[in-house]
Amino acid sequence: MLNRDPNGIFDITIIGAGPTGLFAAFYAGLREMSTKVVEALPEPGGQLAVLYPEKMIYDVPGHPKILAQDLVRLLVEQCSLFQPEFVYGTRIDTLTRADVAGEQVWRLGTATEAHYSRTVLISAGIGAFAPSKIERPGIIEHEGHGVHYFVKDKRPFRGKRVLIVGGGDTAVDWCLNLKDWAKSITLIHRRDQFRAHESSLAALRASGVPMLTFWELKRVWGEPEVQGATIYENRTGEERDLEVDAVLINIGFKAALGPIESWGLDLADVRHLRVDGFMRTNLEGVYAAGDIAAVEGSEPLNLIVTGFGQAAIAANAAKRAIDPKSRLFPGHSSELKL
């Protein structure tokens, strides 16, 4: 860890240990800033760790393809060069100003403690999130017994008959990921328009996986594990029973900023914080980057690579805020001796 302060004040505290937060921790270390990372989850990785650790990611520069969990591991290894302090399983509830040993800093309050920092970077992704659910008979009873909303380990699906519900990237990606792993895959979607990426959708159509459009889930049955599901055609009412061992419901997530909404930050909308080109919020010394940030004059583009770029900008801007004599541009890392 760089520049440990006797009063426990860090140069920068990063809220969120997803890809953006982890790369920001690396860049802050590169700028010789003492860094703390606070994460509400019990592990790093954010959505990559919780929602799709077994999925391949194809749009990370330098990696033709990489497992989400491997990307998290490498990002942690990268930022560990500078020994940032990680705090897991902790949610920041309040953000206020405080005087510590005669210095005005930010106080990040939790239910049991406080963290002090000269600057703050909010990289909390989509905020607090929970999977959207379908209220149908048998679903709640079978959660954890064959009904799933995300997959952290695809091994339990080996040789199983799987029904996937949804039409977005997650549903289509899991069809592709599991098609040579499961015994069979069936996809149902309530309409014939998909929100998934065009290339993924084209790959799915070429894969031979049954795609039933205008079909919805009516009920799940089996005792105690899932043994089947009833689906129905929403235009005609026709019903069909499918013998399946698992139902994967991928119809999106409900996200909210949670306590962040009460911190006095300028909100672009219900999910985004407004920032300028330096990733600065309306609060001095507070920055935002990644999926939670909306840059003025632009539109949020929720990509990992976008978060990486914003993380670098925010870390460099925070360095200059702490030390006005420092340059925004630190030079190329190839010129440094690490």
- Which of 251, 279, 295 marks a domain boundary? 251
Strand partners, 145: none
Per-residue pLDDT at 2: 56
Examine residue 4 and state whether it is found in any structural domain, yes or no: no
Q: What is the DSSP letter of 16?
A: -
**95 lies in the same domain as 37:** yes
Same domain, 144 and 158: yes
Domain boundary among 251, 285, 308: 251
Count of beta carbons in the 10 Å neighbourhood of residue 264: 11
Classify residue 147 as exposed, middle or buried by CB count within 10 Å of its CB (0-12, 13-18, 19+).
Answer: buried
DSSP string, 42-90: SSS-THHHHT-TTSEE--BTTBSSEEHHHHHHHHHHHHGGG--EEE-S-
Q: How far apart are CA 184 and CA 248, in angstroms?
A: 13
| Model pLDDT, residue 279 | 98
Same domain? 236 vs 149: yes
Q: Digits of tens for pLDDT over the chain (338 positions)?
A: 555 788 899 999 999 999 999 999 999 999 999 999 999 989 999 988 887 788 889 999 999 999 999 999 999 999 999 999 999 999 999 999 999 999 999 999 998 999 999 999 999 987 666 788 999 999 999 999 999 998 888 899 999 999 999 999 889 999 999 999 999 999 999 999 999 989 999 999 999 999 999 999 999 999 999 999 999 999 999 999 999 999 999 998 877 788 999 999 999 988 899 999 999 999 999 999 999 999 999 988 889 999 999 999 999 999 999 999 999 988 777 666 66
62: containing domain: 9-129+254-335
Specify whether 16 is located in the same domain as 153.
no
The residue out of 251, 267, 296 marking a domain boundary is 251
